[in-house]
Amino acid sequence: MLVRLSLLLLLALAMRNGNSSPLKEIKKAPHLKEELKKKHDPETLEELLNEDYALVEGDLLLGNNRNVVGNRWPTPSIPYDISSEIDGRTRDILAAMAMVSEHTCVSFHRKNGSESDYLFFRIGHGCASFVGNRGGKQEVFLAPECSVGNIAHEILHTLGFQHEHTRLDREKYITILTENIISGMENNFRTYNGETFDLQYDYTSIMHYGRKFFSSNGEPTIVPNRNVEDMGQRKMLTPSDIQRVRHLYGCDSLKGEKS
């Protein structure tokens, strides 16, 4: 009986190892990790390199489920803390927060002892965050490659915003070239039913993917249906990005709101 159980266990292990995905093999090879970092945007690296979370859309963390729902924070004043392991990125994190706060009513402050729901910035394989307020210590992952603009992009995710290219009406504006997408990464290009606030599709939104995100061959995965130079930019929030934040957090109804 013991011999039979041992054989069954060995068979199960062999089958599991035989079915391991290529990406998990990549994750175990340090030199291949470095190659991925050279070839791919930092917002895609958390999914390509991290085995601990179920991820969709590259930089979106969903824990153990894939229910993409972004809940707004109860107030526009968001508590945060920064891990000591990335103290050196404090200036960049504050600069990203300033990008969001400059023209909106959303602000950020260091958490106090009584605040249990807060953003916690820590080291990661790439740039990644959950969507909306999840409650408790909410991690935002930052790799050294994450720029100020990448961090601002993640902060907008934490406020409840999805990627622009996942809008239901995207076919009017972009074409997805599935043949160029890394196998197994197609979920990053699904559409979702989200709030658009009746704002036009924004090719240059800080929340829009670039042309070659998750490309398997260096060719575009997203092609705009008109000539656009800055699709996928991470330099600034666009006017429509600002309007979305203002709409979601009721900035126009608050006294002293910024314009």
Q: Does 103 show up as a binding residue in the annotation? A: no
pTM exceeds 0.85, yes or no: no
Give alpha helix (H) positions in the chain.
2-18, 22-28, 30-39, 42-49, 90-101, 148-159, 239-248
* Cα gap 259→251, rounded to integer Å: 9
* 247 annotated as belonging to a binding site for a ligand: no
pLDDT in tens, 186-230: 888 999 888 889 999 999 999 999 999 999 999 999 999 999 999
Query: Do 197 and 250 touch, CB atoms closer than 8 A?
Result: no
Residues 154, 164, 186, 257: which is the catalytic one? 154
Residue 115 annotated as catalytic: no
Residue 125, annotated ligand binder?
A: no
CA–CA dist 175, 214 (Å, integer) = 15
Average pLDDT of the residues in 48-52: 54
The pLDDT confidence band at residue 184, using thresholds 50, 70 and 90, is confident
183/216 Cα distance (integer angstroms): 8
Residues 12-39: pLDDT tens digits? Answer: 433 333 332 222 222 334 444 555 455 5
Model pLDDT, residue 49? 53
Residue 209 φ/ψ, nearest 5 degrees: -65, 155
